[in-house]
Amino acid sequence: MRNAFEYLTAACLLALVAGCSGGSGGTPIGENLQAKRDVASYLGEMYDSSTAGGFSLGGVREKCKYIEMDVEKVSGNPEDVAAFKDLLGKLKKAKTEDKVKELCAKMAGLLELPEVWQTQLVRDNKK
C-alpha cells in the first residue's frame, strides 16, 4: 500500500512539473497579428469617436503615435504599407472629424487581418 501511495505521489509531482515546464497554455498569437489587431482597434476608436465620448484632435494624434510604432506590420504587401504610411501622415494633419473618419476607413481597408479578427470597420472597407 505504501509503495502505491509513493508511486501515485511521484506520478502527480511529475505531471505537475511537466505541465508547468513550458507546455502551451493556449495558442500563442503572433506579434504581427497582435499589432494589426491593435491598429484596427485604434482606427475603430478614432472612426467612432463621436459616439465614444467626443472627437478630439489630441486623441487622434495620440493614437497615431501608437499606430506609427506598428506601421511596418500592417500588411505583408509593401505597397499597402507605403499607402498606409501616406494615409497616416495625412491623418496626423487632419483637422476635421469627417477627414479623420475618411482616412481611418481607407487605412482599415489596407489592414491584412484574418477574417476572424476583422473589426466591422475593416470588413466594411476591405479593398
CA 12 to chain centre: 39
Q: Write out the residue range of the structural domain in which residue 82 sits.
A: 31-124
In a domain, 14, yes or no: no
> 63, 38 in Cβ contact below 8 A?
no
Number of domains in the chain: 1
Residue 9 in domain? no
pTM of the full structure = 0.74
Q: Is 104 helix (H, G, I), strand (E, B) or coil?
A: helix
Regions of the chain where pLDDT drops below 50: 4-5, 10, 12-27
pLDDT of residue 55: 83
Judge whether 50 lies within some domain: yes
66 part of a folded domain: yes
What is the pLDDT, as a whole number, of residue 14? 47
What are the residues whose beta carbons fall under 8 Å from the beta carbon of 25, sequence distance 6 or more?
none
Residue 73 forms part of a structural domain:
yes
Residue 95 lies in a domain: yes
